[in-house]
Amino acid sequence: MSSVVLKNIVKRFGSYTAVHPSDLEIQEGDFVTLLGPSGCGKTTTLRMIAGLLDPSEGEILIGGKRVNDVPIHKRNLGIVFQNYALFPHKTVADNVAFGLKYRNVSKDEIARRVEEALNLVQLPHVGGRYPKELSGGQQQRIALARAIVIEPDVLLLDEPLSALDANLREDMRVELKRIQHQIGVTTVFVTHDQSEALAMSDRIVVMSGGRIEQVGTPEEVYNRPRSEFVANFLGASNILDGVCRERGAETATLEVPLFGTVPVPQDKAAGISDGPAKLVLRAEKLTLMDARADITGMIAADATVETVDYQGQTVRYFVRAGDRSFQAINMINERPFPEGSAVKIAFRSQDCAALPG
């Protein structure tokens, strides 16, 4: 178990910069997720930590030691790949034992630890089989067992769940988190799936265009986005241009079109100053109500439903208010508002966040 520190790390491929100067500190035992769309530099960053790519600039420290010049096979890392990358010509037991053979571990000890690892991933009886005889989910568990059996300093997970189908993915999510808790290994997880990131991480590093946009706990990046990108990538947001009129001890007052004055809690309005500002309205926090409903305690505007995207438990509305369209994701009690109906869109001011304009 070790901490991972990236100091001013840069990666260029020819004239293309995949990762702009970035700093990142990962605490010992933390589960940290690099989250972002494809091409944001998250996998490049992971591969630099792994030693599969050399950084163009900057330093990588694992457990306080600079590892820039340490080749991958001497870094003592466990890596789990998206496509499992099991050795097809070796049995499951030989796959799991592979890393131990290079670590001066006695035969008996290898057998014991392989069994232990297979137990940990809840596949104790498959040691004699070949990888292709297992399902995708089982193969990924074996890949995980193979990575953790060597007691790595850091566990690196490169989109390990994206090749699995939806139900299995959620099971594996819980499973992965349980195992990580149990062994307490520092873990870096790469994904483009925001719900995976929110569910599993101690901290999330949101990346975009080769830059780190925000680092924080799931609750922080979700409720207090620091940029428009973060607000939109973690769920859908409606972002309104406005003006900050006043910053008090508890709230910052924003003036936005349609809704008028909105007092945003100070902790969700960090970094804004008087003048132009943006109001972030989460689609899940924007409620559609009957045009005549009581809106006491809420801020509301009249709107017309344009599109209804029915999803069973929830519904996603696209509504028009004034000259712009809003997105709202609501739970459904009975049946959704039909397209074309006149409604009110309403929200509570404490559910908003503000960004510098």
Partner 1 sequence: MRSASGLGWHLIRGWALLVYVFMFLPVAVVVLLSFNASQFGSFPMTGLSFRWFVELAENEAILRAFETSIVLGLLTSIISTTLGVLASLALVRYRVPGANAISTLLIAPILVPEVVLAVALLLFLNFLGIHKSFALLLFGHVIFTLPFVILVVQARLVGIKREVEEAALSLGANPVQTFFQITLPLMLPAVLAGALFAFTISFDDITGTLFWKPGGVETIPTQIFAMLRNSISPEINALGTVMIVMTVGLPLLGVAVARRLAQRSGG
107 interacts with partner 1 by CB under 8 A? no
Q: Judged by CB, which is closer to partner 1: 89, or 292? A: 89
Residue keyed to tokens 């007052």: 253
* Contact assessment for residue 154 and residue 77, using Cβ atoms and an 8 Å cutoff: yes
Torsion of the alpha carbons at 96, 72, 155 and 168, rounded to the nearest 10: -60
Among 3, 56, 83, 217, binds partner 1 (CB under 8 A): 83
Instruction: Supply φ then ψ for residue 46, to 5 degrees.
Output: -60, -45
Calpha distance 181→320 (Å, rounded): 46
Q: Return the residues of window 137-156 that contact partner 1 according to CB under 8 A.
A: 143, 146-147, 150
Residue 106 in contact with partner 1, rule: CB under 8 A: no
Burial of 16 (0-12, 13-18, 19+ CB in 10 A): exposed
If one asks whether residue 74 binds partner 1 (CB under 8 A), the answer comes out as yes
Is there binding between residue 280 and partner 1 (CB under 8 A)? no
Do 174 and 191 touch, CB atoms closer than 8 A? no
Task: With contacts defined by CB under 8 A, name the span among 5-13, 85-93, 244-252, 344-352 that binds partner 1.
Answer: 85-93
Residue with Cβ nearer partner 1 (85 or 298): 85
Stretch that binds partner 1, among 75-83, 118-126, 171-179, 248-256 (CB under 8 A): 75-83
CB 66 within 8 A of CB 40: no
| Interface with partner 1 (CB under 8 A), residue from 9, 50, 207, 269 | 50
Strand, helix or coil for residue 174: helix
CB atoms within 10 A of CB 338: 8
The residues, ordered by sequence, that sit 6+ positions from 86 with a Cβ below 8 Å of its Cβ are 92, 95, 131, 139, 142, 143, 146
> What are the phi and psi torsion angles at 247 (to 5°)?
-125, 110
Shortest reach from residue 253's CB to partner 1, in Å: 53
Closest to partner 1 by CB, 132 or 335: 132
* Residue 103 CB, nearest approach to partner 1 (Å): 6
126 makes contact with partner 1 (CB under 8 A):
no
Tell me the two tokens of residue 142: 């074996």
* Binds partner 1 by CB under 8 A, chosen from 125, 132, 292, 335: 132
Span from 83-91, 248-256, 312-320, 335-343 in contact with partner 1 (CB under 8 A): 83-91
Q: Which span (127-135, 160-168, 209-217, 263-271) binds partner 1, by CB under 8 A?
A: 127-135
- What's the Cα-to-Cα distance from 301 to each of 186, 234, 281, 291, 316, rounded to whole Å? 47, 25, 13, 9, 18
User: Residue 73 interacts with partner 1 (CB under 8 A)?
Assistant: yes
Residue found by looking up tokens 């943006």 in the block: 278
Q: Does 89 contact partner 1 by CB under 8 A?
A: yes
Tell which one of 88, 124, 128, 184 touches partner 1 (CB under 8 A): 88
State the alpha helices, DSSP H only, in the chain. Answer: 42-50, 92-97, 107-120, 136-148, 166-183, 194-200, 218-223, 228-233
Q: With binding defined as CB under 8 A, does residue 293 bind partner 1?
A: no
Residue 308: how many other CB atoms lie within 10 Å: 17
CB of 97 to partner 1, least distance (A): 10
Q: Does 72 bind partner 1 (CB under 8 A)?
A: yes
- Asked if 127 interacts with partner 1 (CB under 8 A), we say no
- Chain residues that interact with partner 1, rule: CB under 8 A: 50, 52, 71-79, 81-83, 85-89, 98-99, 102-103, 130-132, 143, 146-147, 150
